[in-house]
Structure 1
Amino acid sequence: MPLGLNFKQVTFSAVTAGFVAVLVGYTSSAAIIFQAAQAAGASLLQIGGWLTMLGLGMGITSIGLSLYYRTPVVTAWSTPGAALLVTSLPGTSINEAIGVFVFAAGLMLLCGVTGLFARLMDHIPQALSSAMLAGILLSFGLSAFTALESNFVLTGAMCLAYLLAKRLCPRYAVLLALTAGLAVAALRGEIVLADQALRFVVPEWVMPHFTLSSLIGIGIPFFVVTMASQNAPGIATLRAHGYAVPVSPLISWTALTALVLAPLGGFSVCIAAITAAICMGEDIHPDAKKRYFAAVAAGVFYVLAGVFGGSIGMLFTALPQAVVHTIAGLALLGTIAGSVYRALENEHQRDAAMITFLVTASGVTLLGIGSAFWGLVGGVIAHLVLSNRRRIGR
């Protein structure tokens, strides 16, 4: 397909949509990325480097894939995957964390080049993968409200702003909640900016280290959650808007990008869903074939965000922890609700899904392997046993 972009056809609405998509993506989940990097033991400079690589990776892939396919293909980091990392990485060295990123990206690339993605996901019932995701995210949802105990005024203002915005302008609910939190924190003198000039942070190469326990306990659940809860909805969003883009190349290119960037902190590059939908609306252009301009604009803003990745890292260290925890929890409320609904929707898989959810949420570690893996194992075993019981009953 021909490459190139006719700048005369770029509309203000397309540029605005691209900016909003990136803004929503960062305000809704950058706090989770920051927590995941901290859980891996990354320093402030390393966290800045991670955000730089993620911004550049998402920007380049969004621009390249959108121009090539003339389709609004927006990429994103895996927010569900990052949430899993926050709960699974503590106690793991940063070298092992990078090993997990490389391993998961390699599995995704294998799925892309071999076309195994759809067939592989068919072997894991959606109810179980949704239940595992809900169990992973439970602590984030709780943290949005447990922060009321330590900072009632700040957290209460953010929750109230979120509810009001959800009623009046739901697309910007997370952004307005964050704005309210920043305003209250600033008025109370709780924002402590470091006396350091804003600058581009050069990403630091970290040699990956592979251990069986981390690859099984973190790498496999991270792979499953990312494919089932990030890439699959991203592909579904494209198809729902009438864009028949070949799936395997999209998975392959994004996975290859993540594989290359993993030692520099680019833990995942995936197909976006929510932010991509922002770039596919009729208000961008009446001709659906020309809406890819918005995705290209989003890619440009991603690159700019990547250049200032170090500044974003500094911002989160300056904020009260209540802001970070509350915004992360509020941003994931919709994902948690959707995961619980999909987990319990099928009554024949409900018991197995609840086992997956409870084991995952328990945080139990067995044989050095984390709860997300054991939740999935327990759910699959329960599903097989209960499915056989139903067949015998017939």
Structure 2
Amino acid sequence: MLRSLPPLPSWSAALIAAVIGFGGTVALVVQAIRTLGGDVTQTASAVTALCLGIALAGALLSWRLRMPVVLAWSTPGAALLAASAPGMAWPVAVGAFAVAGALTVVLGLLPALGRLAERIPASVVSAMLAGVLLPFCLGLFRAAGVDPLLVAAIVAVFLIARLRAPLYALLLVLVTGIVLTLVRGDMAALPHGPLFGTLSPVMPALDLRAMISLALPLFLVTLVSQNLPGLVVLRSAGYAPRPAPLLIGTGIASVAVAPFGGHAVNLAAITAAICTSQDAHPDARRRWTVGLIYAGFYLVLAAFAPALVRLFLALPPAAIAALTGAALIPALIGSIETMLGVPEERDAAIVTFLAAGSGLALWGLGSAFWGLVAGFFALGTKAVLRRR
């Protein structure tokens, strides 16, 4: 009986991946849902639904495909949502989440679209993401005007951890921010709300402008920044996954959690590397069990998600801004590296970056959309002039 159980490293790898994946960016998810108009209960419902979607879809895909399929929520997508213009009706935002998930399903169902998606210039999409992330990372240092000690501590821990323990850097930053806030007595009273896992469904409302300005960019950044790198991680571990089942599975999970406030479920990249390595399980044929263990830990997180959400909502605004900014620095670094990776596309990437980071809003469409428009226009203009 004991021989059939996964070895201890499998449990520790899954636990570390779950804690890092959840703790490193949950503050950003909470901020994103609140920006879009979700109340305390709806925010708790969103995090609970995301944890359930990650757990159930990940367990099913791991068991069905016999490989460690590690899922996560879309951190770049959460940053995109948090940067959107406030005041959007919550049902409209939920409708945009569902549309983005449906686009992922369609992408998996139609191989021709998958081949077309692979030709989307990663430089432009990454530049759009970098423009969205930049204001949050700048917010880390703007918070120093309110709380210089907190920002100094977070930056110091971040830099030291990135050198000594890069895998745990974001988790250590989170712990530092919360502990320092508690020690100084700056934590506000916990807002009223549920304590254990809760789901608060909302009927999605479809809005054309929200589909264009929110759903489409959410779909693209999740595809380029999460799903495609997640496929690369699995291939690097020696597996040969077909993209279709993974895209369809994560897309269906995203559509399923959308009415409860979940913005996107997708393949993980960094945390997936923990669970797909030989250290997690020496037998590659049995390593899929690590995906099941990881899913089990996310079920536990789903049970206590509302309590954790209320904890983050009690943090001072400066602490939330600092923690969010620090959590997004690695993503910003990766986006900038990708957007400048192809010299011939740098002009289009810079135009995209500036437009997306400008906060431009026209006709109800946000800067992320206009960044993509500017980037694709620049690429198209360059191609036409070259032909002539």
Percent pairwise identity: 38
- Match for residue 351 of structure 1 among 339, 347, 350: 347
Q: 1:311 & 1:298 partners in 2: Cα distance?
A: 21
User: Would the alpha carbon gap of residues 264 and 130 (structure 1) be closer, same or farther in structure 2, given more than 3 Å must change?
Assistant: same
Amino acid at match of 1:63: A
SS of 2:177 mapped into structure 1? helix
Paired position in structure 2 for 1:161? 157
Structure 1 residue corresponding to 2:186, chosen from 162, 184, 190: 190
Post-superposition Cα deviations, 1:147-181, rounded to whole Å, max 9, x if no partner, equal 11111111111111111111111111111112222
Aligned residues: 388
Counterpart contact for 2:157–2:172, Cα < 8 Å: yes
Counterpart check, 1:244 vs 2:248: no
**Preserved CA contact (<8 Å) 2:193 2:306:** no
Question: Paired residue for 1:267?
Answer: 263
Per-residue CA distance 1:250-278 (angstroms, 9 max, x = gap): 11011112112211112211111111111
Deviation at 1:47, TM superposition (A): 0.8
Q: CA deviation at 1:110?
A: 0.8
Which residue of the partner structure matches residue 338 of structure 2? 342
1:332 to 328, 351, 376: 328
Q: Distance in 1 between matches of 2:137 and 2:113?
A: 30
- Whether the 8 Å CA contact 2:85–2:366 is kept in 1: the answer is no
* Residue matched to 1:315: 311
Aligned-partner residue type, residue 272 of structure 1: A
- Counterpart code for 1:99: G
Distance in 1 (alpha carbons) for counterparts of 2:6 and 2:57: 19
Q: What pairs up with 1:125-204 in 2 under 5 angstroms?
A: 125-194=121-190, 199-204=195-200
1:94 equivalent among 61, 67, 90: 90
| Amino acid of the structure 2 residue aligned with 1:318 | A
Matched ranges for 1:1-394 at <5 A: 8-194=4-190, 199-392=195-388
- 1:293-332 deviation digits (Å, cap 9, x = unpaired): 2221110011110111111111101222233222222222
Distance 1:343 1:58 in 2: 29
What is the TM-score with the length of structure 1 in the denominator? 0.94
- In the superposition, relative to structure 1, how do residues 161 and 128 fare at CA in structure 2: closer, same or farther (>3 Å)? same
Q: Is the 8 A contact 1:28 1:328 kept in 2?
A: no
For 2:71 and 2:197, the matched residues in 1 are separated by: 22
SS in 1 for 2:25: helix
Residues 7 and 87 of structure 1: CA distance in aligned 2, closer, same or farther (over 3 Å): farther
Given that 2:193 and 2:310 are in contact with CA atoms closer than 8 Å, whether structure 1 keeps it comes out as no
**In structure 2, what residue type is equivalent to 1:52?**
T
Seen in structure 2, the aligned counterparts of structure 1 residues 94 and 341 have a Cα distance that, compared at 3 Å, is: same
Gaps of 5+ in 1: none
Q: Indicate the SS of the match to 1:132.
A: helix
Determine helix, strand or coil for the equivalent of 1:270: strand
Q: CA deviation at 1:201?
A: 4.1
Q: CA RMSD in A?
A: 1.8
3-state secondary structure, aligned to 1:308: helix
**C-alpha separation between the residues in 2 aligned to 1:25 and 1:105?**
20
Report the alpha carbon displacement of residue 86 of structure 1 after superposing the two structures with TM.
Answer: 0.7
